[in-house]
Amino acid sequence: MSLTIAFAIDFKKLTPKVITSGLFLKKYFPEVSKIILFHAIEYFLTPPAYLQPYLEKEKQRLEQDLKALSQSYFNEEIKKNITIETKVILGNFWEALSKFIHQVNPFVVVLGYLPHLLKVPTAEKMVERLNCNFLVVKETPLTKLKRLGCLIDFSESSKMGLNLTTLLSRNPEVEVFCLNVIQPPDFIKKTFLNHDPLEEEINQRNRLWQEWLKSFSNNQEFIQKLRFEIAVGNRLEKIEEFVKKQQIDLLIMGKRGKMVQKGLGSIAREVIKKIEIPILVVDKV
């Protein structure tokens, strides 16, 4: 099986961290045979005809910039084992970008994320709208992978995240910490005669976890690595505490929870905004 990693390049502050993180991630996936550096020219309406020559010149300039960037980061040793390509995407932004993702079918897209006070960052919109996995990088690049964190909400999306975790944890040095958060409304709505509702909820989720582990029964080495914990309280606060307490290097989560059929779930959106370490958002495996 041959895999492709795509690096979203905007030539801004986080570009070096995006490339550094993507190259580091590639070390854990020997199946990767191609890296594509791409830049999408942002325009959302069809430009008038008189602007087309300018856009073509801009595209040519960006193609040269991408090739120069490629040459500065990818030495001959890397190029011996992997194909390096560059691509400038020109056209209606979302249509052209969606077409590119569909054609390339990257295993993961690596992109930088800078929060914005007044608007939704383009990176966040990409994670929401495009159907692929994303490695979201902020100020801290991915340069080590000893302690993996995996968020579990027992949705299909988070199960895909756990499946992807099995691939990242093939290195014997990697530890895996899994977190499920019970936010009070989850169990207050339920009534249990002669039972503590919180205790009953915790027991139920532990049973669900044991059921989940059965699907990994042929990978006992992975099961032995897993450390599962349940926290009670505000989800985002507990996730932040978990990341700090366990000194997580990379946080893995599904793109959406049980209630969302497409797009980006509300908790995933808040995690992307607030958590500073690299985050792997899983949409498919």
Q: Does 142 fall in a domain?
A: no
Please give the pLDDT value at position 29: 92
For residue 193, pLDDT beyond 70: no
Please give the pLDDT value at position 120: 87
Rounded Cα gap, residues 199 and 97, in angstroms: 47
Asked if 109 and 160 sit in the same domain, the reply is no
Rounded Cα gap, residues 129 and 155, in angstroms: 19
Q: Which domain holds residue 47?
A: 3-137
Q: Does 208 fall in a domain?
A: yes
Asked if 21 and 64 sit in the same domain, the reply is yes
Asked if 47 and 151 sit in the same domain, the reply is no
Asked if 20 and 46 sit in the same domain, the reply is yes
Angle of CA points 24, 29, 32, to nearest 5°: 100
Asked if 110 and 181 sit in the same domain, the reply is no
CB crowding 53-66: b at 16 or more within 10 Å, else e: eeeeeeeeebeebb
Please state the pTM of the whole predicted model. 0.91
Tell me the sheet residues that pair with 232. 182
Q: Which of 8-22, 182-196, 206-220 has the lowest mean pLDDT?
A: 182-196
Asked if 174 and 235 sit in the same domain, the reply is yes
Name the percent of the chain lying above pLDDT 70.
92
Last residue of a domain, one of 102, 137, 172: 137
How many domains are contained in the chain?
A: 2
Please give the pLDDT value at position 98: 94
Q: Does 125 fall in a domain?
A: yes
pLDDT confidence bin for 106, thresholds 50/70/90: very high
Asked if 210 and 114 sit in the same domain, the reply is no
Asked if 39 and 160 sit in the same domain, the reply is no
For residue 251, pLDDT beyond 90: yes
What is the CATH number for 266? 3.40.50.620
For residue 190, pLDDT beyond 70: no
| Residues 34 and 85: beta-carbon distance below 8 Å | yes
Asked if 133 and 159 sit in the same domain, the reply is no
| Residues 28 and 143: beta-carbon distance below 8 Å | no
What average pLDDT does the chain have? 89
Q: pLDDT tens digits for 63-94?
A: 999 999 999 998 887 888 899 999 999 888 89
Please give the pLDDT value at position 260: 56
Asked if 117 and 24 sit in the same domain, the reply is yes
Q: pLDDT tens digits for 151-188?
A: 999 999 999 999 999 999 998 899 999 999 998 765 55
pLDDT confidence bin for 61, thresholds 50/70/90: very high
| Residues 131 and 110: beta-carbon distance below 8 Å | no
